[in-house]
């Protein structure tokens, strides 16, 4: 338990509709704070998501220069761009569709009842968060999303759903392989020593078994077939997507108020 509550807890609950908050959501904050940093999402990988949690994400309606546009930067979207809006924007739905599809088909979690609270707080039920893998994946996804989203304004780069999702998968893959490598190194360091009895237990090998298989005897590891397939499917989707010129689902600076 925290002795004094972080400000963002009250800020997310602000009932004034003009602030675009979530006053009717009861967030299991202690579980959220305890969940920061998983073996497959470190502080850097979680950075953008943690900023969102703390309400420190830069969005257009936070600009101090009031002459700047506050309308969402995604082309064709005319809503005000707030921290809540960026996870609800209809123009970004195809990206989150891919993310939640991966969570159900590869990680094996059920769909959360509310996507918005799943993305922001990683909530899966009223009182609980998603699995460790699902939480970690959403944090990677939000980080990759926000990187690309900020480039829409900073570098006038279109937001490409297939490319951003591909980056998300690669980022998650590195984290999962890093975890497996850590377990293997522990094994290699201990196998001929008196620490032999302290070899990484089955539960560490199985902790992310929907994502990576770590062998029992020599601790070799490889991504699961489902994870590998998701990556190759996404790779195959890249040139097709570009050929069809569909990446104009987003727009740059353009999007000022009309």
The Cα 55–Cα 95 span in angstroms is: 22
What token pair was written down for 165? 């999702």
| 3-state SS, residue 81 | coil
Distance (Å, whole) CA 140 – CA 105: 17
CB of 148 to Zn ion, least distance (A): 14
Closest among 15, 46, 20, 23 to 33, alpha carbons compared:
46
- Shortest distance (Å) from residue 145 CB to Zn ion: 12
Assigned token pair, 200: 């990484």
Both structure tokens of 38? 């998983």
Interface residue with Zn ion among 52, 53, 59, 89 (CB under 5 A) is 89
Largest CA distance in the chain: 71
Give the residue with the Cβ less far from Zn ion, 31 or 157.
157
* Long-range contacts (CB closer than 8 Å, 24 or more residues apart) made by 96-103: 96/141, 98/161, 98/165, 98/234, 99/137, 99/138, 99/141, 99/165, 99/168, 102/137, 102/169, 102/230, 103/130, 103/134, 103/137, 103/138
Question: Which lies closer to Zn ion via its Cβ, residue 28 or residue 252?
Answer: 252
Nearest distance from residue 206's CB to Zn ion, in Å? Answer: 40
By CB under 5 A, residue 74 contacts Zn ion: yes
Stretch of residues binding Zn ion (CB under 5 A), selected from 51-59, 71-79, 96-104, 152-160:
71-79
In the bound complex, what is the minimum distance in angstroms from residue 106's beta carbon to Zn ion?
Answer: 28
Neighbours of 55 (CB within 10 A): 19
Spell out, one character per residue from 119 to 158, where the chain touches Zn ion: x when CB under 5 A holds, - when not. Answer: ----------------------------------------
- Binding residue (CB under 5 A) for Zn ion from 72, 118, 138, 163: 72
Find the binder of Zn ion among 77, 138, 152, 230 (CB under 5 A). Answer: 77
Q: 127: which 2 tokens?
A: 């009182």
Stretch that binds Zn ion, among 79-87, 126-134, 183-191, 247-255 (CB under 5 A): 79-87
Closest separation between CB of residue 220 and Zn ion, Å? 45
Q: 89 or 120: whose CB is closer to Zn ion?
A: 89
Please identify, using beta-carbon distances, which residue of 60 and 139 lies nearer to Zn ion.
Answer: 60
Stretch that binds Zn ion, among 6-14, 72-80, 101-109, 161-169 (CB under 5 A): 72-80
Binding site for Zn ion (CB under 5 A): 72, 74, 77, 79, 89
């Amino acid at each position: 338990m925290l002795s004094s509550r972080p400000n963002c807890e009250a800020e997310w609950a602000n009932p004034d509709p003009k602030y675009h908050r979530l006053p009717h959501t009861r967030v299991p904050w202690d579980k959220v704070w305890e969940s920061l940093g998983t073996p497959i999402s470190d502080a850097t990988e979680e950075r953008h998501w943690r900023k969102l949690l703390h309400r420190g994400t830069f969005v257009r309606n936070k600009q101090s220069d009031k002459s700047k546009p506050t309308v969402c930067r995604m082309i064709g979207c005319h809503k005000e761009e707030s921290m809540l809006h960026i996870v609800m924007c209809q123009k970004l739905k195809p990206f989150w569709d891919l993310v939640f599809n991966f969570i159900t088909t590869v990680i094996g979690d059920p769909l959360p009842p509310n996507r918005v609270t799943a993305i922001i707080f990683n909530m899966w039920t009223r009182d609980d968060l998603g699995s460790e893998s699902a939480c970690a994946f959403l944090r990677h996804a939000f980080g990759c999303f926000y990187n690309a989203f900020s480039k829409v304004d900073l570098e006038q780069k279109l937001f490409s759903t297939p490319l951003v999702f591909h980056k998300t998968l690669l980022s998650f893959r590195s984290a999962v392989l890093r975890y497996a490598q850590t377990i293997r190194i522990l094994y290699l360091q201990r196998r001929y020593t008196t620490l032999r009895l302290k070899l990484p237990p089955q539960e560490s090998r199985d902790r992310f078994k929907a994502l990576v298989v770590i062998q029992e005897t020599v601790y070799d590891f490889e991504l699961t077939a489902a994870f590998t397939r998701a990556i190759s499917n996404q790779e195959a989707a890249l040139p097709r997507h570009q050929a069809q010129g569909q990446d104009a689902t987003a727009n740059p600076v353009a999007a000022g108020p009309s």
